[in-house]
Each structure stands twice: as structure tokens, then as C-alpha cells.
Structure 1
Amino acid sequence: MRNYYSAPSLVDISITNRCNLKCDYCYASSSPFETKNEEMDLNHLNNLFQDLDDMNVHRISLTGGEPFIRDDFFEILSATQKYKFAKIINSNGILISDKVASKLSKFDFDRICITLDGSCPEVHDIIRGHGSFKKTIKGIKNLQKYNLPVSTLFTLNKTNVNDLINTIKLNELLGITYMTVMVVCPTGRASDGSILADKNNWYPMFLNLSEMKSRGDIKLNFKIIPPNESPVFWLYYFPLEHYNRLDLLSVWDQDLNLTDIHTKGREISCQAGVKACSIAYNGDVFGCDLMMGIDQFRAGNIKSTSIKEIWNESSVFNKLRNISFDNINGKCGTCSHKWCGGGCRSSAFNLTNSIYGSDNSCFFEESVANG
């Protein structure tokens, strides 16, 4: 069994599956048509926050759905205030009026992260819905008016991959200081993989971005986070290898010469149920948010069992912790790249119907499979 943390370092908490948008890639398949039936109530959440604090969890995020759609959102936020864990709010920004931003300024939290999926309505609205870009920008400016700690989240997919650099520039113009780029995972509405960016678009864009970063042309502090967790990310490695520019890995703090890669045995890098977990709107617990809604990854429910007991005793989490390259099927199990941690288990499940499958979204896996 892989070593796991005595408590999760990060816990994502979906407080609702209701949303005022219906995005193409949503891992939770949230929409305006969801109801508040089965949502954790304030009592459930109070008990959960207390348990997480007792476990010394480092950070939580309040997410959805769209968290501001709950009438009692500020009661929920208020319930977190006495605890020492870091607090992050994830939102699409549309419901953040001047009044809401003013009210938020009375609370203590570490960051509010607003999803901005393009530099203009022509890109952002295709993914997230007509008119959403303008409303999101307005929400960001309302937050900035009250000097709130706002960052943005860009979910990279085939529709917006070539607009990433323009969106970085927009963030700089808006005065945003931090941006996260999450690469879409084949789960939820994206489970068939059709919305993933292909290498014909990703490779040249990533080379251009790496060169810009190397020259210091980008001032914004941003990070690209692929679904797979590895000592070196394949989404970084393969484009730069293709152009014979592996020297540019260093601008992303990636190092192929790390001693551990060559001296230790290969180890699955997926951190679901190892150092993180996610809690769905109805109290179901999963290894990460990308596993939400998949029965095979459901570890328990906090309405009937404490999060501490689920973390320590769940057979699902034990199964995730016991995955090794010895029981990974397909090319991922025999891959020669020692720096890779075997891909995303949620992605592998959705693409192969097995927790032990290969993550076929990998460009190397794809090239081998296609000859």
C-alpha cells in the first residue's frame, strides 16, 4: 500500500449541484435543472467543518455547482470562520453583484477563484453559455472594488486552447495576480473525451507559451495543472520533446534529473484518497472531484459516517492506495517513461471502464495505440 496522509491536505466540498450555467466539460454535470434535494444542510456542514478542523486539514474549497446559488451561502461561509483551515471559494462570478461582493468583504477567506474560459465572448460563451462572459467580468470587477483576493480558473479544452495566451493577457489587463489553468479531464459531461484539446493544437501553443515564459514576456503568476499527477507532466514533456526543446521544462519547474525518478521504483502518482478527497453536494465522499458521481469511487457518506472514519477505513480508499504499476493494464503498466506516475485514475476509468486501465488521454499512449 502507498503511504497516505493521516488526514487529507485538501478537501473540495460541493455545497450544491445546482448551477446557473451548463458548461460543456463540467465534471459534476451541474445545470440549472438540478434541485436542492439531498443537499447537505447547515447542520451537516457544521459537523463536517468541525471534523475537518479536528483532523488538521490544511485547506478546503467551497464549490458546486455554483455555491452562490444557495440562499444560505453566507451562513455556510460564516460557519467556517472559527476554523484554522484555509478557505477557497470557487464560482463562475455571475451572481457576484456589488452587494454580494460588499458582504463577502466582511468575511475571512484566502481566495475566491472565478472561472474565465476565454478572452472574449466568442470563446468563453461557446463553452459556458450566451452572455456569461460579460457577467463574469462584471463579477470580477465587483470583487476587485472591495480589494478581495480574486484569482481566475481557465479550463483548457479544444474550444479555447488557442485562446489561452490571449486570456493570460486579459488577466494581466484586469490586474489579476494569479491564474490556474486546469486541463479538462474526460469525466462528467466530457467523459467521452471529445472536448479534449488534441496535440495538433496543444503542441505548438505550449511551445509558444514556454518560449514566452522563458523570455519573461508573461508577468502573470499562473500554473497549468493537468489531471495526471507525475514527477513530470506528459502535457509538458511530449510537446517539448517533439520540438527538441526539453530544456524548456525548467521554466515549468519540471526536472527530468530528479534523483527520485531514477533511484526509486515507479509509483502511481494519483493522489485521490492519498492526500486529498472531495465531498459531493449530497455528502458522498470521493477521492477527488473528478471521481464524483462514479459509484465505483464512492467511499462513503458524511451524513451517516464521519469523514475521519471514511478516510481511515473506506475500502474504496484502500483500493486506490493499493494501486501499483503491477496491476495497471495496457500501455501505462509497461510504459518506459519512469517520470510518469501512471495517469489519472478517473480518466482511465471513464475511457476503459476499469480503475486499472490505461489513461488513454496521454499523447504517448495514443501514439502507441495508433501505431
Structure 2
Amino acid sequence: MNSGYQLDCVSWEITLKCNLKCIHCEFSAGKPSPDELSTQEAIKLCEDLHRLNCKRVILMGGEPFLRKDWYRLSEKIKDLGMELAFISNGYIIDKNLFNLLQKLEPIYIGVSIDGGRAETHDYIRGVKGSFDRALHFIDRCIELGIQMIVITSVHKLNIKELPNLRDILFDRENIQWKIQITDVEGRFPKKYLISEEEFYWVGEFIASTQKQHPRGEKFVTGAHDMGYHSSVLPNLLGFEWNGCPAGLSLLAIRSNGDISGCASLGPRFNEGNIRDRSVIDIWNDPDAFAYNRKFKMEDLKGYCKRCRYAKSCKGGCTETSYMATGHIHCDPYCFHRIEQQRKT
């Protein structure tokens, strides 16, 4: 049975092995998981994704370049005609790695920069020198003609440094800056989560930066959690928000083969494991991803229940909603909601 849903993008955590110790890591990465997929299982998974007509695969970790067969998997993805991208911490500075990346021609590489000062980034990332190495990695990839995305996860420890980081990135070519809020999965302390008013300020900062930079939203955008439906701010996402796409056009795969609708979603949202059922069976299961595929207006909670944008928005980002409230379909990090609350 075909699900009727087009699988556009897969985020695949190919290993939990990591060379940094980020305080906000939602996967609590470090050592590789003892039950990570074998090369044979991973190759078979690539083939199954191709059978699902998957358009794009993003390899991530942990740190994806620490998995021994990362290049073999990357080649397989490309050979099958799927787009290839990576998300890395940019810590590995190695001539051979850059040669391999140039050969692969990924559509982009995302690298995290989480501070406007080396001291802040290094503290958050848990390793001294990681800020300078990440910038070196970015600049080298730009020299090779690779499109780079800088990913910044905002929380109370770094929110005030966004202007500094803007100055660092502003004149770099072939770069896009994507700003998101940090969630509290994994080992991130909830006390560092930004408030709704701080969230709105981040939105204002992105809008202001888009006006200042000659490339506008091609330079900086908000991630999927930076919305929605503001009557004051422009659309910061770079696309029209029509509700959480997890399980509708997006899929996430853990290093052990667990499947969920989005890389940000925790274990509660697992739909199965490819060792028990193929990813094809899971994607085409009529009962899978029910929180989105079987969404009903009655599922909305809190303010979202009476919002005029409820039908299209569906309560915002599933992960942010669950993280902040313990429920889904009621995301409090919403520009429209904050603006309405300011009026009362």
C-alpha cells in the first residue's frame, strides 16, 4: 500500500559518535551507540529510501564524518540519484576530508556556530578551539564552492551574541544563516530555554538582518520553529507554513534504525525500527505518524484552539509544542499568539 505522501527529505543520524560535548545536544551524543546500523543495513536502507522516491538525504550525527563508512554511504546516496547534504560540527580539519567532500558535491553542508565569541561557542560545544576550527572548516568549504549553512541554536547563554555573530558572517559568500531555538531534549538544562518575549526578539533580529543584508532572506532565515503568522514581522521561514511536515514529507532515522517524523522529535514519537519493519513499510503504514496524518481540529489545545490560523498552522512545531507544554498542537512560541497577548 502506498501512503500517498511524497518523501522529500530524510535526516539520518548515521552515528552518535562525536568529538564535541555540546551542552544542548538533544541526542546526548559522544560514544557510538552499541546497536548502530551495520554497513550492510545502512546500504539496504539507502536502497529502500530510493524506492520511496526520497529526494534528499541529510547525513548527521553525532559527527557524521566519524563513522568509518560515511563516504561509502554518501556515494551510495548519490549513485541512487538522491540529493546529499551533511550537518557537521566543523571540527575536523583534514585535507583528505575536503577532497572527498569536493568529489561528492553535496547540495550543502550545515555547520553549527553557537556564539558570537570563541569563548561562548567553545563553552557550549565543550571543546576549546572548536569555534576557530568551525570557521576554518566553513571558509575552506566556501573556497571549494560548497554551499554552506550556518546553524545557530539560540538559548539564554548566547542570545545576546547574535549581533556579534552577524558581523562575523555578514561578508562571507556562499553562506546562509539559519537560526532556531534550542529545545530541551537530551542533556540541555531547561533553565536556559528562552522566554516567549526573547523568542519574539529573535524574530525581530532576523527581520532586521534581512533588511540590512543585500541578499535578504537568502542570507538569514528562521528554522521551522521561528514563526508564525505575524501581522508585524515578515515571513522569516523562507516558505509558507502549513503545519508541521513530520511524517508528511519529512522522516528521521536514528543511528540504531529507529524511525520518527523529524530529527528533533524524542523517543515518544518513534514509529518503529527498520530491523523489525522496512522503512518502506513504516512510511506506507496507514496508522503511522497519526499526530499529523490524522490531524483533526479537535486535537488543538490552548490558544491554538481558537486561533484564526488554526486550520493551516495546526498548532505550530510539534517538538517545540511538546517541549514547552507537554502536549502537541499548541506551540506557545508563535509570533501571532505573542502579538495578540500583548494587546490584552
TM-score over 0.5 for the pair: yes
Aligned to 2:257: 283
In structure 2, what is the Cα distance between the partners aligned to 1:67 and 1:74? 10
Please say if residues 25 and 195 of structure 1, whose CA atoms lie closer than 8 Å, have aligned partners that are also in contact: no
Please say if residues 297 and 305 of structure 2, whose CA atoms lie closer than 8 Å, have aligned partners that are also in contact: yes
Aligned to 2:234: 249
| CA shift in 2, pair 1:304/1:147, >3 Å | same
In structure 2, what is the Cα distance between the partners aligned to 1:23 and 1:60? 24
2:47 aligns with one of 36, 45, 50 = 50
Aligned to 1:196: 193
| CA shift in 2, pair 1:209/1:60, >3 Å | closer
Q: What secondary structure, in the 3-state scheme, does the structure 2 residue paired with 1:180 have? A: strand
In structure 1, what is the Cα distance between the partners aligned to 2:339 and 2:293? 26
Q: How does 1:200-219 map to 2 (within 5 A)?
A: 200-204=197-201, 206-214=203-211, 216=213
Aligned to 1:301: 273
Please say if residues 178 and 221 of structure 2, whose CA atoms lie closer than 8 Å, have aligned partners that are also in contact: yes
Aligned to 2:22: 23
Please say if residues 16 and 36 of structure 1, whose CA atoms lie closer than 8 Å, have aligned partners that are also in contact: yes
Q: What secondary structure, in the 3-state scheme, does the structure 1 residue paired with 2:139 have? A: helix
Aligned to 1:96: 93
Which has the higher mean CA deviation after the structures are superposed, 339-348 or 102-111? 339-348
In structure 1, what is the Cα distance between the partners aligned to 2:224 and 2:192? 15
Which has the higher mean CA deviation after the structures are superposed, 74-83 or 193-202? 193-202
Aligned to 1:155: 153
1:172 aligns with one of 167, 170, 173 = 170
1:341 aligns with one of 306, 314, 320 = 314
Q: What secondary structure, in the 3-state scheme, does the structure 1 residue paired with 2:48 have? A: helix
In structure 2, what is the Cα distance between the partners aligned to 1:149 and 1:215? 21
Cα deviation digits, residues 17-69 of structure 1 (max 9, x gap): 12111222222221x2x234111111111111111112211111001111111
2:64 aligns with one of 57, 67, 83 = 67
Q: How does 1:107-146 map to 2 (within 5 A)?
A: 107-129=104-126, 130-146=128-144
Cα deviation digits, residues 69-97 of structure 1 (max 9, x gap): 11222222222231111110110010132
Report the alpha carbon displacement of residue 124 of structure 1 after superposing the two structures with TM.
Answer: 1.4
Please say if residues 92 and 114 of structure 1, whose CA atoms lie closer than 8 Å, have aligned partners that are also in contact: yes
Report the alpha carbon displacement of residue 206 of structure 1 after superposing the two structures with TM.
Answer: 3.7
Q: What is the aligned residue count?
A: 336
Cα deviation digits, residues 120-157 of structure 1 (max 9, x gap): 21331232123210121222233234333333212222
TM-score, normalization by structure 2: 0.85
Please say if residues 187 and 347 of structure 1, whose CA atoms lie closer than 8 Å, have aligned partners that are also in contact: no
Report the alpha carbon displacement of residue 12 of structure 1 after superposing the two structures with TM.
Answer: 0.6
| CA shift in 2, pair 1:316/1:355, >3 Å | farther
- Mapped pair 1:105 → 2:77: no
In structure 2, what is the Cα distance between the partners aligned to 1:345 and 1:251? 18
Report the alpha carbon displacement of residue 224 of structure 1 after superposing the two structures with TM.
Answer: 0.9
The letter for the 1-side match of 2:282 is I
Report the alpha carbon displacement of residue 367 of structure 1 after superposing the two structures with TM.
Answer: 9.1
In structure 2, what is the Cα distance between the partners aligned to 1:128 and 1:280? 21
Identity, in percent, stands at 25
In structure 1, what is the Cα distance between the partners aligned to 2:214 and 2:159? 19
Please say if residues 74 and 84 of structure 2, whose CA atoms lie closer than 8 Å, have aligned partners that are also in contact: no
Report the alpha carbon displacement of residue 209 of structure 1 after superposing the two structures with TM.
Answer: 4.3
Please say if residues 155 and 181 of structure 1, whose CA atoms lie closer than 8 Å, have aligned partners that are also in contact: yes
Report the alpha carbon displacement of residue 328 of structure 1 after superposing the two structures with TM.
Answer: 2.7
The letter for the 2-side match of 1:15 is I
Aligned to 1:224: 222
Which has the higher mean CA deviation after the structures are superposed, 93-102 or 359-368? 359-368
In structure 2, what is the Cα distance between the partners aligned to 1:198 and 1:274? 29
Which has the higher mean CA deviation after the structures are superposed, 152-161 or 171-180? 171-180
The letter for the 2-side match of 1:79 is K
Q: What secondary structure, in the 3-state scheme, does the structure 2 residue paired with 1:343 have? A: coil
